[in-house]
Chain A
């Protein structure tokens, strides 16, 4: 059941993207709703199989992140430019297909270790994935700013920068929320809210890099765009690199 849903969902997301491109907006929106509904079913099935919420390992977060992206397009459609939606559908499909290709050792459900059995997990992990979701949107704006035709209208550039700014702030807020709730959780579990664990340190590094975008001497859209790209690379390293290269308290994540 889980695998079937995992195959169907990305196909519908890709179809929705194609129909949006062909300007069949109503059908595309209907398909987005259908894909999100099935995606929710996928998360529920996974939760039932694993007996815990679907955000305790990389495979499960590969399911969660695209769902948040799809949910955002449904619940908060005006926040991002509508022209961005097909790209977001493609990104959602890509994450799900990547989840499908992960080896069984990474996708097999594993029971929760005692420290993870805490209500803080329900705030800490989704907070980070809300931040990552906004960073993905900010990254698209950043690339649009950098690869924009130089003859383009100044007003359009300003609009893109304003939208990217908003995403930077949302992401910055949720990165901070994730860090603080993680610290409270670590304090309740281990009696120490900060251990300089590699994942913790890199979470702090991400915030410090993004803080640069808010503290520029002469802020230009291009400078901010580059900072967003560096932050995304740093977040990607935190998400994948730290897990595989640097051992620590978050080795399971």
Chain B
């Protein structure tokens, strides 16, 4: 094969791979993705085509990864076989392939997980973080969650976690991550949690929705609050029981009452390993610089032929 046929083959490979990717990406944006729903709660129906093309989980599918890998390899092949005309274009394709491979390395090797931590709670981190021994035991305590609101009183202006990270006080805020070795902690989101004081006979217990309590051999769970009827719903060994917000009721011959204690924040923190990410950042910047130079974007004479 001569240079021209290499070029033509390279172009054809790009077109086929990109068309496939485009088609699958476009369709998948309209299909609910399974990873957006808790297990068993996926609302969509999977037909044969959806299953074969992984359309309901396309982004994490081997098909998506495979197509991007093929695209990267075809770019490297085009560079090595000199199927790309100019030096600038060869460099551009090589750097772009490097970007894709750096993304693949990051996705397959770096850990990324979320932790939800309540105010006053301490969580061990050393089991989840792959850190050398010199970093010592890692633990995180949420001392306080701070919420700053805009003047409208509805939109958060900033939210930050006052943390005790290995006995050292730190503040974690949106757009201001913290570091532990090759890991970064990010203030991702927050949740509110309501607390109640549950009285049952002589027993007093602090409870949240979903908490269970074992009394006299029975399992009692605080399910939710019915706003219309202004009453709490509980289940006692699977049977539904209601307790009014104001006042109480009798359950199995004992007086039961629930009093709201207030709300507390749960800080949602993303922990991400960032090993090798500097390669991705550097390659992306280089890609832009080479593109601007090769396209002659900032020259007066116009573009390249």
Q: Which residues of A contact B (CB under 8 A)?
A: 78-79, 110-115, 117-118, 162-163, 165-166, 169-170, 172-173, 176-177, 180, 183-184, 187-194, 196, 198, 201-202, 204-205, 208-209, 211-212, 215-217, 242, 246
Contacts and interface: CB of A to CB of B under 8 A. Distances in A.
B177 A114 contact: no
A180 B25 contact: no
A192 B15 contact: no
Contacts of A190: 186, 188, 270
Given A111-B157, A198-B29, A242-B29, 15 more contacts: A78-B300, A113-B156, A114-B158, A114-B173, A114-B174, A166-B303, A173-B291, A177-B288, A190-B188, A190-B270, A191-B184, A201-B25, A205-B26, A208-B21, A208-B25
B181 to A, nearest CB: 15
A191 B15 contact: no
Contact of A205 (B22, B155, B288): B22
Interface residues of B, number: 51
A226 to B, nearest CB: 14
B281 A184 contact: yes
Interface string B124-148: 0000000000000000000000000
Contact of B18 (A180, A183, A211): A211
B213 interface: no
Contact of A246 (B30, B277, B288): B30
A218 to B, nearest CB: 10
Contacts of A114: 156-159, 173-175
B112 A192 contact: yes
Contacts of B65: none
Nearest to B294: A169
B81 interface: no
Contacts of A189: 174-175, 186
Contact of A176 (B15, B186, B280, B291): B291
Contacts, number: 112
B270 A192 contact: yes
Contacts of B156: 113-114
B292 interface: yes
B209 interface: no
B272 A192 contact: yes
B158 A117 contact: yes
A237 to B, nearest CB: 9
A191 B21 CA distance: 26
Given A190-B188, A217-B12, A110 B288 contact: no
Given A208-B21, A217-B11, A196 B59 contact: yes
Contacts of A205: 22, 25-26
Q: Find the residue from A113, A118, A204 having the highest chain B CB count within 10 A.
A: A113
Nearest to B13: A215
Cβ-closest 10 pairs across A and B: A191-B186, A111-B150, A191-B270, A196-B59, A191-B272, A114-B174, A166-B303, A169-B295, A111-B155, A180-B284
A112 B151 CA distance: 11
B14 interface: yes
A110 B21 contact: no
A169 B303 contact: yes
13 contacts: A110-B155, A111-B150, A111-B152, A114-B174, A117-B158, A169-B303, A173-B295, A180-B285, A188-B177, A189-B186, A193-B280, A196-B59, A242-B29
A209 B14 CA distance: 12
B38 interface: no
A110 B155 CA distance: 9
B15 A215 contact: yes
B78 to A, nearest CB: 10
A183 B284 CA distance: 10
